[in-house]
Structure 1
Amino acid sequence: MNDTAQRPPLPDRLSIDPRSPYYNADIFEHDVGIRFNDKERTNVGEYCISEGWIKVPAGKALDRKGNPLMTKLKGQVEAFYR
Structure 2
Amino acid sequence: MSEDLPELPDRLSVNPNSKYYNEAIFEREVGIRLNGQEKTNVEEYCISEGWIKVAAGKSVDRRGNPLTLTLKGKVEAFYKERK
Normalised by the length of structure 2, the TM-score is: 0.91
> Per-residue deviation at 1:66?
1.6
Between the aligned partners of 2:64 and 2:29, the Cα distance in structure 1 is: 26
Moved over 6 A (4+): none
Q: Distance in 2 between matches of 1:74 and 1:10?
A: 19
What is the CA distance between 1:60 and its match in structure 2? Answer: 1.9
Identity among equivalent pairs (%): 66
- What's the secondary structure of 2:42's corresponding residue? coil
Question: In structure 1, how many angstroms separate the alpha carbons of the residues matched to 2:42 and 2:76?
Answer: 12
Q: How many residues align?
A: 80
- Please tell me the root mean square deviation across aligned C-alpha atoms, in Å: 0.9
Which residue of structure 1 aligns with residue 2 of structure 2?
2
TM-score by length of 1: 0.92
Greater fraction of residues in helix: 1
